[in-house]
Structure 1
C-alpha cells in the first residue's frame, strides 16, 4: 500500500493518530521537504514518530517517483506531506502514478492553509479561486494571476494567495553543468507580494475591469498553526511596509465582508495594533 499522510501545520503532534500508526508500521517513510516547512526539524519528527525518515526533495518526488513507489505493491510505503496531501498538485500526480502501477493507495488528511486561513475571521465559503504569487526575476515578471483576483472580487469573494517557496532550486549557471549548485532557500513574504501587486496595479497590467487598487483591503498571515502565528490586516499600500517575521507567509485579498467577518477582522487591522 502507498500512503500519503498529512502531518498538519504547526507541531510534530499534529499528525493524526491513524496517520501515526501507519507511519510506525510502514517499511519506508519519506518526508516531502519542498512544498512547505514545519517548525520542527527532521530529527524531532523522527524522535516523535519513532521512525527514521527519508528526505524527499522536488527531484525525488517529481522525477524519482518510481524509487518511492518501489515495492509498494507488496509493502507499506508512506510519503509525509506538510498540511494536507491535496494541498499541492505534485501529490496528486504521484497518486496517479501509483494507480497506473496497480498499487493500492490511501490518503490520510490533515489541516492545511486552505482551511486554517479561516482563523483570520474570513468565512471559508466566501473564498473564490486560490492563486499563487511567484518570485519575480529580472527577466520574468508574470502578472496574469491578478485577473483571477479581479474575477473573485467582482462577485465579492476573497482570494487566498499562496506565496512562492523556493527550496533546493539550482542556479542558472549550474543548469548547464553536470554538478548542480543550489540557491539558498527563499520564502516570499507578504510585503514582497504586496510590492509586486502594487507594481502590477500601477502599470495597469490586467484584462478588463480592475477591482484591485492600492486601497484594497488584505490580510497577511504568517506561520499559521505555529505557536507564534501572526495576522495583520490593512490596505495593500499599508501592508507593503509590514514585517510579519519568519516564514511561512500567505495572504488574502479581501472581497465583500459579511458583518461578522468585519467584526472579527478588526482585531487584526493595523489601526488596532
Structure 2
C-alpha cells in the first residue's frame, strides 16, 4: 500500500490526525520537499513527532527513477508532501506509476495554498483560472539571460476571461526561494518588452508564510508592491482580474490595498 499524505502549509503541527496515525503505522516513510516545503519545520522535528526515519527524495527519485515504489508492493509505505498531496501533477504521475505496478494507493489530504489564498485575501475561489509558475531566469548558451514569458501569457489569458491567476514562485536548490519582489520585477520586465498592458496598473496580491501564526498579505499596484518587504519565504503571488465589490473591500481591509480600487464598483 502506498499512502500519499499532505502535511499542510507551514510546520509539523499542520498534519491531520488521520495522516499522523498513518505515518506511525507505516513501515517506511518517504518525502519530497522540492515542489513545496514546510518553512516552519525541519526533518529532525518531523522525525521526532513521527517516531520514524524520513527518507527525503530528490526530484530524480520522484520523477525519473522512483525505484523506491517497489517497497510498497509488500510494505505499508507513506509518501509525504507539503500542502495537499495531489495539487502537483508530479504526484498524480507517481500515483499512476504505482497503479501500473499493481500497488494500491490511498490519499490523506492536507491544507492547500490554493484554498489558503482565498481565505487570506478574500478573493473568491470560483474565479480562479489556470495557474502558472515563474522560474528563475537562466543564462543561455549564448550568454543571454532568459526570462520565461509563459506566466505573463497565462495572466493575460485569464484576464481576458475575467479570472484571477495564482502564480507559484520557483524553489531552486542553488538560487533559493523566489520572492514576490523578484516575481514582479520579472513580470514587469516582460511588460516593458511587450507593452500589452497585462501588468500595467495591475492590482496584485503578495502572500508570505501562509499557515503560520503571522502570515503577511499585501495588495497594491504591481509597480509599488515590488518594493514591499514581505519577509521570509515561502511567497506566492496572485494577479486578480476585475474585482467584485466584496473582493475589493476584502483587499482593502485585509491586505492594505489602496481604497481607490473601490471606485466604480457595484456593491
TM-score by length of 1: 0.88
- Distance in 2 (CA, whole Å) between partners of 1:33 and 1:153 is 31
Match of 2:243 in 1: 257
C-alpha spacing 1:41/1:55, structure 2 compared with 1 (3 Å): same
Unaligned runs of 5+ in 2: 141-145, 260-267
- Distance in 2 (CA, whole Å) between partners of 1:232 and 1:141 is 25
1:33-72 matches, within 5 Å, as 33-38=33-38, 39-67=40-68, 69-72=69-72
Q: CA deviation at 1:63?
A: 2.8
SS in 2 for 1:85: coil
- Distance in 2 (CA, whole Å) between partners of 1:211 and 1:106 is 45
Match of 1:269 in 2: 256
1:226-241 matches, within 5 Å, as 226-241=212-227
TM-score by length of 2: 0.89
- Work out the number of aligned pairs and report it: 251
Q: Does 1:100 align with 2:90?
A: no
SS in 2 for 1:71: helix
1:127-142 matches, within 5 Å, as 127-139=128-140, 140-142=146-148
- Distance in 1 (CA, whole Å) between partners of 2:8 and 2:199 is 34
1:89-168 matches, within 5 Å, as 89-118=89-118, 119-139=120-140, 140-167=146-173
- Distance in 1 (CA, whole Å) between partners of 2:71 and 2:152 is 44
Q: CA deviation at 1:33?
A: 2.0
Q: Which runs of 4+ in 1 moved over 4 A?
A: none
SS in 1 for 2:138: coil
Match of 2:262 in 1: none
Root-mean-square deviation (CA, aligned residues, Å) is 1.5
Unaligned runs of 5+ in 1: 168-182
